[in-house]
Structure 1
Amino acid sequence: MKYFALIFALFASPVGAQQVPQSAAEMQLSFAPLVREAAPAVVNIYVKVVREVQRTPLQADPFFGRMFRDPLTDRKPRVQNSLGSGVILSDDGIVVSNYHVVAMATDISVVLNDRREFSARVLLADEDSDLAILKIDAPEPLPYLPLRSSDSVEVGELALAIGNPFGVGQTVSSGIVSGLARSGRSGGGGRGYFIQTDAPINPGNSGGALVDVQGRLIGVNTSILTRSGGSNGIGFAIPADLVAAFVAQAQAGRTEFGRPWAGISGQPLDTDMAATLGFDRSGGIIISGLHPASPFLEAGLEVGDVILSVGGQPVNTPSEMVYRMSVAGLDAQADISFSSAGQQKSARVGLIAAPEVPSRDAVTLPERSAFPGLTLVRINPAVLSDFNLPLEIEGVAVMKTGVFAARAGLRNGDVILAMNGVALSHPGQVAEMLTEQVRQVEMLVQRGAQRIIMRFRG
């Protein structure tokens, strides 16, 4: 009788008075009222990207280029079009999408559900988080989705994915939240902490909305786990709490996302490691290194301590900790709990940007050097953060290779540890050695976890 009364009440109500479903029984009837409310805030994003035509090394050479021109390959840059999805987050036109949707774009168009089209500009974008905040200017207030705190989302909740897969137009797929605290790197390029869903997400859904049954945004769809290229029921969304942090920084005028710097290295404390080290349980992040400028060191933590929670939320991987710090924001204070010498303790850590101390002292090699245009910097915490370098590394970092150094094999983010047997600590040393008339140069280079010896003849 209850279901009969509910169905009668719904059909007896005027169409315009239909409400968002409030119970499981109502959900069994239709998602239509929910979609009707949420869909207008989900947009299609069309992007134009100008790409240079790949040229051969001889064509790119300043001297030989004239001799090896090919009418078929020496063409103007090509314009490529791509598409994705986005979500309007405010009535004045703040839109969130994925970084990989708008990266390198020269022209961005946002098309609303009612077919209105607007040009958009990027306010803030971050490749590591795979998020971008856009702005469109409309003559009247726009429909938007409210954000729901990601920490209130539970596994098993109903969820809808709304986007523009394969460019066929806006579509809706349903499923549940199938996992939380998924860490790693997403297919779109983002790395960190994700909400997992089995609601089908296909190419073009990137940047679209994952909404709950109240029409609130709980995540931005970013990638899927697949072997075939199609949806296998394992999709990932960037949590709404991180989206809110991005919006706040964009509205404050930042053009790059300011991510708090921990200044620590560590790894998850698994069962085997916990047993070896004498801990009574696994979980948390065991600290293996602390930079002298780390705010965690200043708060009293030491190597061997285990960080258990940040801001009252448990952390079990470095990606989770970075996420928690990013959500808290720069210049905030985060309460942490940690285990030290078998005792559980607490501390308050200041969330700071990676310090630019000492100064980078950037040096760009002149034309008369072996590698003109090569830009080198002294390593400080900000450089460590920019290139995700080990805390203890010493040397000089490659900020920009220039043409000749790139051909020789150097890459941005490489660290030159020594040159001709001389340990390096300042970019001026490299400039001095490479501007001299040297017949042979030997560099010891750190690239990720590898050390490489490079030899060059003058």
Structure 2
Amino acid sequence: MRQTCLALVSIRFATLSAILAATLLSQPLRAETRVPVTQAEISLGFAPLVKAAAPAVVNIYVKRVVQTRSSPFQGDPLFEDMFRDFGKLRPRVQNSLGSGVILSADGYVVSNYHVVGEATDIRVVLNDRREYAAQVVLADEQSDLALLRLEGAEDMPHLALRDSDTVEVGELVLAIGNPFGVGQTVSSGIVSGLARSGGAIGSAQGYFIQTDAPINPGNSGGALIDINGALIGVNTRIVSRSGGSNGIGFAIPARLVTAFLAQAEAGETEFARPWAGISGQAVDADIAESIGLSIPGGIMITEIHRESPFFKAGLMPGDVILSVSGHSVNTPAEMIFRMTVAGIGNETEVTFFSEEEIDTRPVTLARAPDMPPRAALVTDDDTPLPQVQLININPAVLAEFGLPLSSDGVVVADTGPFGARAGLRVGDVITEINGARVSDTGEAARKLAASGRWLSLSVERAGQRMQLRFRL
């Protein structure tokens, strides 16, 4: 009897297994994004993924000419800073390396601006050791991105761009690059955070994907890919107390790379981003309570230019911008990112809080208008400040020189041979000459020419006012 029962159980188990197998085989196969669970999957690791993605990640070798001073005080702990500008400027060839990612079959490569910016010679080496000369076709220091074009390239391996807005915290990612020049290297991690904003390299400001995947020197410009092999970001830097890889890594989102590639393919030579024409501050809990906003967030407009697209849409100082294109914005960097990926000439929806009500209105994104005319003027040789180039202020000039929206006067575009010695800098706003207000370049030139034995300039620099006085 016992043997009979065991036989019946075996038959039923075999029947159930057959039915389950038939059911699974009848279902269509679907690609899933999941963590490896079986021993076979764990032992396999990321090898197939790396094998497919690595050929599209390149090493970049750069030469640039920099001007350095040869000072006898160099290395001296006491006098080096005191005599920093002592000695003649001498050209010196500087070598550097980094990484890049091929984006198209015809040889477009994305990297960081701080890797290839101002380069005089660029050599790109593929994973299979093929070498190509490359030229920068589009570069932008603020976003820390640069796009190269390989000379004579065709049928190149390349990575697909994924919409970085679909990336979620916790996803597995791989960073591929050339750290320390040792050759192509792969490191793994997860997406640690999204919508990170702040300083990047130099004057760059951005909006980043945060990862714990190591990003060492030389890895900049390399690929941050998901486990399906799609590019979700371009590695740009790591923040670390020790300077090593045990820190927080940041990558530029693929959506911005997509906008960059689109402008390059359209023939643009300078990266253009929409102009906001506003100044603002993040809304914290105290500000939110004072204005009746239930949840802290958004950007309160503190100043707005009359030519701003937000002003034309009806927004005013005191209003709080909550979202752009359906995405919440809590810092100016987030807002500029959303405007940039939406694109110049397009209309986007802006949700804002005004007078205790939430409203949504369309805003047409545009470049900063270059009107009224700049009326560039170079001062005469017989004036107290000869060969200084001055231009009128308009929205495009405000954006180009990063000036406050309330700036009024004329801007120093070139200091000439003596302006710098007199204390002037490019980007200075001259508001008064000898106590009289200056409204345009023509008036500034006349007032300079009419100066007597003394010259007094009222100058605004980086939001600070100063007086420059000279005896002629």
User: TM-score w.r.t. structure 2 length?
Assistant: 0.86
1:24 aligns with 2:35: yes
Q: Partner of 2:263: helix, strand, or coil?
A: helix
Q: Which amino acid aligns with 1:155?
A: V
Q: Which residue of 2 aligns with 1:307?
A: 321
Alpha-carbon separation, structure 2, partners of 1:101 and 1:42: 15
Measured in 2, the distance between the counterparts of 1:385 and 1:112 equals 38
Which residue in 2 is equivalent to 1:244?
Answer: 258
Structure 1 residue 373: deviation in Å?
2.8
- For residue 54 of structure 1, the aligned residue among 66, 69, 85 is 69
Correspondences of 1:103-142 after superposition (within 5 Å): 103-142=117-156
Distance 2:427 2:245 in 1: 35
Contact kept, 8 Å, 1:100 with 1:189, in 2: the verdict is: no
Aligned AA (1:191):
Q
Q: How far 1:25 moved relative to its partner? A: 1.4
Q: Report the Cα distance in structure 1 between the residues aligned to 2:200 and 2:426, rounded to whole angstroms.
A: 23
- Alignment deviations for residues 82-119 of structure 1 (CA, whole Å, 9 cap, x no partner): 11111100010001011111121111111111111111
- In the alignment, which residue of structure 1 is the partner of 2:196? 182
The answer for the alignment partner of 2:79 in structure 1 is none
Segment of structure 1 superposing worse, 33-42 or 400-409: 400-409
Deviations 1:280-338 (CA, angstroms, capped at 9, x unpaired): 22101111111111111111112211111101111111110000000011101111111
Identity %: 59
Q: CA 1:302 to 1:249, structure 2 compared with 1: closer, same or farther past 3 Å?
A: same
Mapped partners of 2:464, 2:213: distance in 1:
40
Cα distance in 1, alignment partners of residues 203 and 303 from structure 2: 27
Q: Which residue does 1:287 correspond to in 2? A: 301
- Matches for 1:34-433 after TM superposition, within 5 Å: 34-54=49-69, 77-433=91-447
Q: For residues 226-283 of structure 1, give each alpha carbon's deviation from its aligned partner in whole angstroms, at most 9, with x where no partner exists.
A: 2332223301111000010010001101111111011111111111111222322210
Query: Helix, strand or coil for the counterpart of 2:334?
Result: helix
Distance in 1, matches of 2:89 and 2:199, equals 36
* RMSD, matched Cα: 1.8
Amino acid at match of 2:326: G
- In structure 2, give the amino acid aligned to 1:36: K
Three-state SS of the structure 2 residue aligned to 1:369 is: coil
Alpha-carbon distance between aligned partners in 2 of 1:50 and 1:371, rounded to the nearest angstrom: 31
Distance 1:416 1:139, change over 3 A: closer
Q: Does 1:440 align with 2:454?
A: yes
Work out whether residues 69 and 90 of structure 2, in 8 Å CA contact, stay in contact via their aligned partners in 1. Answer: no
**What amino acid is aligned across from residue 87 of structure 1 in structure 2?**
V
| Stretches of structure 1 lacking an aligned partner (at least 5 in a row) | 1-19, 57-72
Letter in 2 for 1:45: I
Over alpha carbons, which structure has the higher Rg?
A: 2
- Alpha-carbon contact 2:273-2:343 (below 8 Å) kept: yes
2:453 is the alignment partner of 1:453: no
Taking the aligned partners of 2:455 and 2:337, their CA distance within structure 1 comes to 43
The superposition leaves residues 153-195 of structure 1 with CA deviations (integer Å, 9 ceiling, x where unpaired) of: 1111111111111111111111111011111111354202111
Deviation, structure 1 residue 359: 0.8
Is the contact between residue 187 and residue 224 of structure 1 (CA under 8 Å) also seen in structure 2? Answer: no
Letter in 1 for 2:460: Q
2:166 and 2:64 map into 1 onto residues whose CA distance is 38
Q: Structure 2: how far apart are the matches of 1:316 and 1:136?
A: 39
SS of match in other structure, 1:77: strand
Give the Å deviation of 1:76.
6.1
- Asked if structure 2 preserves the Cα contact closer than 8 Å seen for 1:21 and 1:33, the reply is no
* Structure 1 residues 356 and 320: alpha-carbon distance in aligned structure 2, compared to 1, 3 A threshold: same
Give CA-to-partner distance per residue, 1:384-440, whole Å, 9 cap, x none.
111121111111111122231122222211111212111111122222233345322
Structure 2 counterpart SS, 1:408: coil
Aligned to 2:21: none
Question: Following TM superposition, by how much is the alpha carbon of 1:457 offset from its aligned partner in structure 2, in angstroms?
Answer: 2.2
SS at match of 1:413: coil
* Paired amino acid for 2:170: G
Structure 1 residue 75: Cα displacement: 8.5
Corresponding letter in the other structure for 2:34: S
How far, CA to CA, are the matches of 1:439 and 1:226 in structure 2? Answer: 56
Unaligned runs of 5+ in 2: 1-30, 72-86
Deviations 1:36-84 (Å, cap 9, x if unpaired)? 111111111111111234378xxxxxxxxxxxxxxxx768622111111
- The 8 Å contact of residues 165 and 202 in structure 1, kept in 2 or not, is answered as yes
CA distance in 1, matches of 2:56, 2:198: 29
What code does the residue aligned with 2:456 have? E
TM-score (norm 1): 0.89
Distance 1:227 1:104, change over 3 A: same
CA shift at 1:374, angstroms? 1.6
In structure 2, relative to structure 1, the CA distance for the partners of 1:139 and 1:245 (3 Å cut) is closer
Distance in 1 of aligned mates of 2:283 and 2:32: 43
Distance 1:446 1:414 in 2: 6
Residue of structure 1 equivalent to 2:19: none
